[in-house]
Amino acid sequence: MSKDTGARTAQGISSTVLDEVKKAVSARLGGKSGGGSKESGGGGGGSGSDDVIELTDSNFEKLGALDATVHTVMASKFGVRGFPTIKYFAPGSSESDAVDYDGGRTTSDIVSWATSKAMENLPPPEVVQATSPEIVEEQCQGKQLCIFAFLPHILDCQAKCREKYLSLLRDLGDYFKKNGWGWIWVEGGSQSELEEALSVGGFGYPAMVALNYRKMKFSMLKGSFDKDGIREFLRDLSYGKGQTAPIKGATFPKVIKIEPWDGKDGVPPKEEEIDLSDVDLDHTEL
């Protein structure tokens, strides 16, 4: 197996899984079968490819091909009875937590199953603030959807209030992490051109928009901005449901560079003091 040196993101990990597993499975399914022989990954060197480590009783650690007819200790330990058998160990799991493969036997079946398992163990995506065009582009480019949450201004929703919204978004990001979406939050009024292009504003905050960056089409949350309402909205989108609209101008709007939120309560602007010393309060004009 080649070591995963790619990015620790949903896209990076899934790409690595797809590449490595597909190469390995294709080599195994390319007319090679049988137990205990070299063609099946036996003690004579397996498929001859460096993409798969042949596991033995002494080196079994991560991912690879084990000839259970030769290395009987490991086969017995994990209850291998038939061939071929595929078992999955999630990161941090114990030996007793092995999950038996329950998919089909084609290359695409195995790749799909392995990718799904890898995505389940990804860390939740980061919910980032739209503070520059580079950050927004990084979150949206190459992804099926990027989710924009427009939150109230800090003076209308102080730190504790804002953190509740961000916590909700993080939980939702974790729930939908297998989709590999980007997650962005925007302080209401801080990115006016973005709001205008996505038809946000005039309805109050918070608001949510899901954008297909490649097609420059978006869908707006019309239900309640809570766990159930957003889950339903995003679940429908993941199944290809929901209404979409083209982004105004068919190009991504300008995002200006701003200072990120410091995590603190907002401070109202200091009102200018008016000098009333010259005002004659005793004189009243009739």
The stretch 199-224 carries a mean pLDDT of 92
Give me the residue label for tokens 């695409």.
Answer: 108
Question: pTM for this structure?
Answer: 0.65
Give me the residue label for tokens 């197996």.
Answer: 1
pLDDT recorded at residue 42: 39
Phi, psi (degrees; rounded to nearest 5) at 218 = -140, 160
pLDDT recorded at residue 127: 98
Q: What are the tens digits of pLDDT across the range 113-167?
A: 887 877 777 888 999 999 999 999 999 999 999 999 999 999 999 999 999 999 9
b/e code 176-199 from CB counts within 10 Å (16+ = b): bbebbbbbbbbbbebbeebbebbe
Q: What are the tens digits of pLDDT across the range 230-264?
A: 999 999 999 988 899 999 888 999 999 999 999 99
pLDDT category of residue 57 using cuts at 50, 70 and 90: low
**Domains of the chain, each with CATH number or no CATH:** 10-120 (3.40.30), 127-250 (3.40.30.10)
b/e code 259-282 from CB counts within 10 Å (16+ = b): eebeeeebeeeeeeeeeeeeeeee
pLDDT recorded at residue 114: 80
